[in-house]
């Protein structure tokens, strides 16, 4: 094609495309949108209203779904206690009282022990590996199978990244120091503490500080420096321990009532799924970006005593963790299925990490 002909062709294509685009923008999309059904849902959460990162994750999820759907799917978000109790989310969504919920799967261990594998496993996956297992390693299919029994559809919708080990009012120098310890710690980590002789307490986020300050509990884990600074735990406990052996990359969930889900057209289903992907990476990125500055403030301004768990304690906790998870898997068929898949993928990803992530970490210290 000659240069003059090419220019004429491009000009015609450009004019035609612009005309088509203008026509769609001015008439077709609004006309279609006006004819399509709109949906108004409620989302209940385990978090206090608009709680930094976690509650914000629920707020953002609703906002993004509204924007991407052009207002066809509007979701009103209720913080924990505003419509149902924080730990009543699972039942409310399962029973269809509301259409959607936001929380963490290990809160529902009483419904099914297998739920815990989709939040955090002690000495288990970090955020990157958890995402890989769920999205590409078969984990999501097992999660969907499990939640379908409760009339629910699950989504991974956030991640805290590696957490801290927790706040304590006494030093942890040996495994014996865990005996009799009353600690707020959920999920499988709580079962490990119990096996070590401690007392695991499940307390909703908004109640932790008061319980720690009044001595109802002796210690608590929560998330990490950014959150812990805002929660004011440094006012109620002396020692801040790391690493978070119990939660190396905790996944947060959005759940949808299956009956409500099945009423949605395919494009709205795709929008909900896309919004959960966005929420997942947004939350992890926020924590990763903000945690260290918050940690420096805790240490430099509030004089928090940062301590690492002794190697003997970590080894003891790892041994007990393996026992706990094996016991859970042996007692429940869905837990067995989830754990077998988890272990297989863990072996696969760790072998890869040995020649990628681990050598890179070592390079930084050369």
Q: What pLDDT band is residue 13 in, cutting at 50, 70 and 90? A: very low
The predicted pLDDT at position 29 comes to 43
Supply the pLDDT for residue 365: 63
Q: Structural domain tally of the chain? A: 2
Give the pLDDT mean for 304-314.
97
If asked whether residues 145 and 233 sit together in one domain, one would say: no
Q: Are residues 223 and 107 located together in one domain of the fold?
A: no
Residue 28 lies in a domain: no
341 belongs to a structural domain: yes
CA distance 273 to 63: 14
Residue 294 belongs to a domain: no
SS3 content of the chain, % helix, strand, coil (to 5): 55, 15, 30
Within a domain: residue 7? no
Please tell me whether residues 58 and 186 are part of one structural domain.
no
Strand ranges inside 210-335, DSSP E? 219-220, 239-242, 251-257, 305-308
2 is a domain residue: no
Model confidence pLDDT, tens digit, residues 322-366 = 999 999 999 899 999 999 999 999 999 989 888 988 888 778 666
| Residue 12: per-residue pLDDT | 43
The answer as to whether 96 is a domain residue is yes
Assess whether 102 and 193 both reside in one domain.
Answer: no
- pLDDT of 34 reads 54
Q: How high does pLDDT run on average in the chain?
A: 90
Yes or no: say if 295 and 225 are a contact pair by the CB < 8 Å rule: yes
Q: Could you tell me if 319 and 240 lie in one domain?
A: yes
90, 110: one domain: yes
Show the tokens assigned to 116.
């815990």
Pick 26 or 101 by higher pLDDT.
101
Note the pLDDT of residue 11.
Answer: 44
Q: What is the pLDDT of residues 230-279, one digit of tens each?
A: 999 999 999 999 999 999 999 999 999 999 999 999 999 999 999 999 99
Q: Is residue 72 part of a domain?
A: yes
Q: Report yes or no: 153 and 258 within 8 Å, Cβ to Cβ.
A: yes
User: Based on the domain organization, do 262 and 328 belong to the same domain?
Assistant: no
CATH number of domain containing 112:
3.40.190.170
* CB-neighbour burial class of residue 287 (10 A; exposed 0-12, middle 13-18, buried 19+): buried
CA distance 57 to 53: 6
pTM for this entry: 0.86
C-alpha dihedral (144, 94, 185, 252), degrees to nearest 10: 50
* One domain, residues 82 and 139: yes
Q: Which helix (H) or strand (E) holds 154?
A: strand 152-159
pLDDT at 1 over 90: no
pLDDT surpasses 70 at 286: yes
Burial per residue of 207-228, b for 16 or more beta-carbon CB atoms within 10 angstroms, e otherwise: ebbebbeeeebbbbbbbbbbbb
Residues 216 and 256 in one domain: no
Asked whether residue 227 is assigned to any structural domain, the reply reads yes
Tell me the CATH number at 213.
3.40.190.10
Query: If you count DSSP H runs as helices and E runs as strands, how many of each does the chain have, helices first?
Result: 14, 11
Residue 231, domain extent: 166-245+305-363
Q: How far apart are CA 326 and CA 324, in angstroms?
A: 5
Would you state the pLDDT for residue 187? 86
Name the residue with higher pLDDT: 26 or 144.
144
Looking at the fold, whether 150 and 93 belong to one and the same domain comes out as: yes
Residues 114, 62 within the same domain: yes
Confidence class of residue 50 from pLDDT cuts 50, 70 and 90?
Answer: very high
| Same-domain status, 214 and 148 | no
Mean pLDDT of 125-149: 97
């Amino acid at each position: 094609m000659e240069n003059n002909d090419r220019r004429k062709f491009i000009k015609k294509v450009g004019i035609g495309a612009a005309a088509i685009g203008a026509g769609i923008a001015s008439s077709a999309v609004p006309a279609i949108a006006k004819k399509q059904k709109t949906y108004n849902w409620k989302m209940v959460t385990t978090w206090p209203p608009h709680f930094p990162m976690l509650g914000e994750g629920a707020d953002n999820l609703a906002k993004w779904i509204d924007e991407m759907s052009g207002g066809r799917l509007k979701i009103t978000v209720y913080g924990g206690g505003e419509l149902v109790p924080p730990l009543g989310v699972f039942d409310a969504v399962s029973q269809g009282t509301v259409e959607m919920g936001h929380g963490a799967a290990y809160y529902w261990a009483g419904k099914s022990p297998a739920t815990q594998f989709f939040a955090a496993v002690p000495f288990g996956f970090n955020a990157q590996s958890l995402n890989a297992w769920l999205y590409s390693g078969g984990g999501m299919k097992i999660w969907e199978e499990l939640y379908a029994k409760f009339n629910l559809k699950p989504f991974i919708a956030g991640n805290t990244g590696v957490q801290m080990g927790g706040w304590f009012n006494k030093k942890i120098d040996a495994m014996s120091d865990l005996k009799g310890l009353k600690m707020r710690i959920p999920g499988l980590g709580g079962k490990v503490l119990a096996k070590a002789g401690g007392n695991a307490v499940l307390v909703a986020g908004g109640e932790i500080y008061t319980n720690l300050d009044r001595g109802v509990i002796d210690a608590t884990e929560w998330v990490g420096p950014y959150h812990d600074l805002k929660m004011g735990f440094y006012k109620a406990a002396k020692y801040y321990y790391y690493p978070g052996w119990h939660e190396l990359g905790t996944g947060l969930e959005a759940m949808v009532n299956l009956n409500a889900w099945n009423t949605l057209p395919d494009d709205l289903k795709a929008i909900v799924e896309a919004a959960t992907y966005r929420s997942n990476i947004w939350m992890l990125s926020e924590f990763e970006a903000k945690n260290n500055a918050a940690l420096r403030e805790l240490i430099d301004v509030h004089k928090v005593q940062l301590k690492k768990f002794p190697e003997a304690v970590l080894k003891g906790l790892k041994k007990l963790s393996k026992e706990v998870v094996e016991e859970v898997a042996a007692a429940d068929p869905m837990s067995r299925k989830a754990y077998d898949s988890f272990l297989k993928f863990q072996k696969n990803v760790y072998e890869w990490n040995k020649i990628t992530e681990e050598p890179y970490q070592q390079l930084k210290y050369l």
